[in-house]
Structure 1
Amino acid sequence: MGTRYKVVLLDMDGTFLDSRGAGEIPNEWAYEAFKKTLQHYGLTLTIDEINKLFLAPLHARGEEGVLNFCHRFGLDCEKFWSRREKDVIEAKITAIRTGVIKLCKGSEEVIRYLSTRFYLAVVSDSQQACVNYALEHFNLQPYFAIWYGRRSELKSLGNRKPNPFYINKVLRELNAHKEEAILVDDSPVGVLAAHRAGIDSVLICSNDEKLLKCEQKPTFLIRNLNELKSVL
């Protein structure tokens, strides 16, 4: 099983990086970063309002969702997005540096093991600066052949999963055939991106609810990254 694979692509957040933080509120560092952005414009929103008015439209409609948010509050969208990206990148890097964000348990060992058998790549919807910092901070760069996060321009939101943009970019740069590659992700949108790229996928899924959200069935299903050895 899996002997035909030459390239393993890994998502970052939720796959090998636990970006939720240790507080009672998951991703509290990110909410605080967004509140900082809002304060610059004299705005105050609760977490529920941020989820409803900004994050849900952002995840569902990308650039259009951000444009609608800015229109609602009369914001210059390009300037707002630039400030938002700056604040969230700084907050995430600080959270990694101070230990709020950590590696998922056992992930370094798994990555080290995989690197002896496959070419490894990161394809993340997090900003490139955050991917760079995380790999450097946790000394993971030597294990990966290539790593991609998204660019910070507003239009780059269109390249996020389920768009296979970065998956295809990795395949081209590593000169890999589709049947030789597999994506490991903790999100159904990652599974869909893999399907659209024509490659296999592994979904990290600890509950049935996530599986039910899958528009496309993953090739393999595991509960955590440590089980990846049994698949690959």
Structure 2
Amino acid sequence: MLKGLIFDVDETLVYYEGYDHREWYEKWIMPALMKHGIKLDYETYRKTVTGELPRSYIERFGIDHVEFWKIVDRVNLEYRRWMADRDKITPFPDVEALGELKKMDLKLAAVSNASQECTEFVLELFNLREYFDVVYGKDYSNLDGVKPSPYLVKKALNALGIKPEEAMMVGDSSHDVLAGKRAGMKVVNITRFGKIEGADYYVRDLWELEKLVKEILGSYSP
């Protein structure tokens, strides 16, 4: 029986107009790191984010990796506030479907590789926080536990009190698909920016997800 859904946040529920990862790093993150005497090229940073290198790899440069990621996250929050002030963060129009999913007595969680503060900020910005029973951003006690690791997803499942087979992961990226699969869940890929191989279901938006969930729940009826 399907009892819950675990959602990715960025690019699944909200969109950042004009966002470019390299530009963001070089214009926002690098200057902040330089103030702390930290020099780290974009390519090395990118590899730690994609999982090609562990986030603790930063220690090789004589930098405490927890403090490093806290600096990055503080700047990321500033960036999000800057973007929000310019109306450059917008929810996808189909986020209203979250209300319909909530009416089905499903437990909902949001899980992001961004910090807790950054994740809560964008959800509260558009009054989306109210739909979720739990919200988890990256955990500083386990920084390598970000997606595609199943750590945060399992953390959400435990908080919701449901088993992996009773929930589905919903997201737009390969990290979401892998994290859900590694947690033992079925995965729904929202194909806003293209199809990710390995998912169990594919939907174009959250309204199609609502339809899919209704079909799944209806299949349990005698």
Pairing 1:1-232 to 2, within 5 Å after superposition: 4-19=1-16, 21=17, 23=18, 26-27=20-21, 28-29=23-24, 31-40=26-35, 50=42, 52-59=43-50, 60-68=52-60, 71=61, 76-78=63-65, 79-107=67-95, 109-117=96-104, 118-151=106-139, 153=140, 156-206=142-192, 210-211=195-196, 214=197, 217-232=198-213
TM-score under structure 1 normalisation?
Answer: 0.78
Gap change, CA 1:219 and 1:145, over 3 Å in 2: same
Gap change, CA 1:178 and 1:82, over 3 Å in 2: closer
Q: Which moved more, 1:181-190 or 1:93-102?
A: 93-102
Question: What is the one-letter code of the residue matched to 1:36?
Answer: P
Number of aligned residues: 209
Q: Deviations over 1:104-141 (max 9, x none)?
A: 2322x111111111211101111100111122221112
- Which ranges of structure 2 fall in alignment gaps of 5 or more residues? 214-222
Aligned partners of 1:61, 1:15: CA distance in 2, in Å? Answer: 25
**Alpha-carbon offset, residue 103 of structure 1:** 1.0
| Preserved contact between residue 56 and residue 143 of structure 2 (Cα < 8 Å) | no
TM-score under structure 2 normalisation?
Answer: 0.81
| Preserved contact between residue 205 and residue 222 of structure 1 (Cα < 8 Å) | yes
Aligned partners of 2:138, 2:37: CA distance in 1, in Å? Answer: 28
Question: What is the one-letter code of the residue matched to 1:173?
Answer: A
Aligned partners of 1:157, 1:26: CA distance in 2, in Å? Answer: 23
**Alpha-carbon offset, residue 41 of structure 1:** 5.2
SS of the residue corresponding to residue 106 of structure 1 reads helix
Aligned partners of 1:36, 1:141: CA distance in 2, in Å? Answer: 32
| Preserved contact between residue 4 and residue 108 of structure 2 (Cα < 8 Å) | yes
Aligned partners of 2:124, 2:192: CA distance in 1, in Å? Answer: 28
Gap change, CA 1:90 and 1:163, over 3 Å in 2: same
Aligned partners of 2:9, 2:192: CA distance in 1, in Å? Answer: 17
Gap change, CA 1:102 and 1:135, over 3 Å in 2: same
| Preserved contact between residue 7 and residue 119 of structure 1 (Cα < 8 Å) | yes
Aligned partners of 2:131, 2:116: CA distance in 1, in Å? Answer: 17
Aligned partners of 2:64, 2:38: CA distance in 1, in Å? Answer: 15
**Alpha-carbon offset, residue 220 of structure 1:** 0.2
Note the aligned Cα RMSD (angstroms). 2.5
Question: What is the one-letter code of the residue matched to 2:8?
Answer: D
SS of the residue corresponding to residue 218 of structure 1 reads coil
**Alpha-carbon offset, residue 39 of structure 1:** 4.1
